[in-house]
Structure 1
Amino acid sequence: MDGRIKEAVDLFQEVLVYGTERVIKSVDHPLWKEYSPEQIQMLKLIESEKQITSARLAVLQAVHKSAISSRIKKLLQKNVIQVVQTTDKREKLLELTDKGQEIIEELDQVLADYLEKLLSENIADEEIEQFLTIFRKLKTIIKMDGV
């Protein structure tokens, strides 16, 4: 493997892990205390997919179905997601409630404000444009809907 690719993968993983940790520690907002990072990620996945099965969530979050069941139960109790019955009685889809959508929008805004401040102090505009170009290209290559 090209050494640059390995370095890119390593850097991406480090930014993901340590960036998430820093955001969690740095963003002082009640929603970050009420919802775990895993629950927030689940809400974002449900928002992205519109409707999703628990099995697909387990794959996307790379955890066992029992961990997903626990998260789903907690989010159902908070009325931020709901179960949608399909014509196939065995298949149950999850979707955000209006409250869940409002929470995602608020979390997105808090995160965007924090990252904008962090990046504007440390990264030039042209570097942000380069980052966006590369990540748009990666998204196209990976085709997220094929996962």
Structure 2
Amino acid sequence: MDKRLIEAVELFEDVMVHGTERVLKSVDSPIWQEYSREQLQVLKMISKSGAMPAGKIACLQGVHKSAVSSRIKKLEEKELIQIIKSSEDQRTKLIKLTKTGEEVVRQSDQAVYEYVEKLFSDQMTDDELDQFVSTFKKIREILKWEGV
């Protein structure tokens, strides 16, 4: 196997695991104190993909449906999401963001963007940032799949 590919995978894993952990622990925002990282992740997924069933959220988070049920209940109590019936199948319930949920996602995103901007500002040139964006767009496209 190509040693560069092995190194790329290891670097990707390091950035995903350790980089995510550092960012999540370091973002200083009231939103990140009020909601758990798992709750914010649920809101972000719905924000990006639109209304979805709880089973898909569980699959994307890699947890059992019962864990997602608890998160959904708490988010619904806080009026960040609402449960609606699917227009295609009335038996299917979808989780949808409310306006308040959309605002929480916006605030959370803003806090992360500000932290990462400070972190990268003196460490990456514009050309390096452009290359980073280009590379991750390609990786995202390669990793996309249907059925989840």
The TM-score, its normalising length taken from structure 1, stands at 0.91
Q: Which residue of 2 aligns with 1:44?
A: 44
User: Shift of the alpha carbon at 1:142?
Assistant: 2.6
What CA distance in whole angstroms lies between the structure 1 residues aligned with 2:145 and 2:55? 17
Amino acid in structure 2 at the alignment position of 1:77 = E
Residue in structure 1 matched with residue 129 of structure 2 by the alignment: 128
Name the structure 2 match of 1:108.
109
Tell me which moved more, 19-28 or 125-134: 19-28
Answer 1 or 2: higher relative contact order, Cα 8 Å, separation at least 6.
Answer: 2
Q: Which runs of 5+ in 2 are unaligned?
A: none
Aligned partner of 1:91 in structure 2 is 92
* Correspondence for 1:82: 82
Once residues 15 and 76 of structure 2 are traced to their aligned partners in structure 1, the CA distance between those partners, rounded to angstroms, is: 31
Task: Look up the SS of the partner of 2:7 in the other structure.
Answer: helix
Corresponding letter in the other structure for 1:29: S
* Deviations 1:34-90 (CA, angstroms, capped at 9, x unpaired): 111111111111111111000111111111111111111111111101101235332
Counterpart of 1:117 in structure 2 is 118
What is the distance in 1 between the residues matched to 2:144 and 2:15?
Answer: 22
Please tell me the root mean square deviation across aligned C-alpha atoms, in Å. Answer: 1.6
Unaligned runs of 5+ in 1: none
Provide TM-score, normalisation by structure 2: 0.91
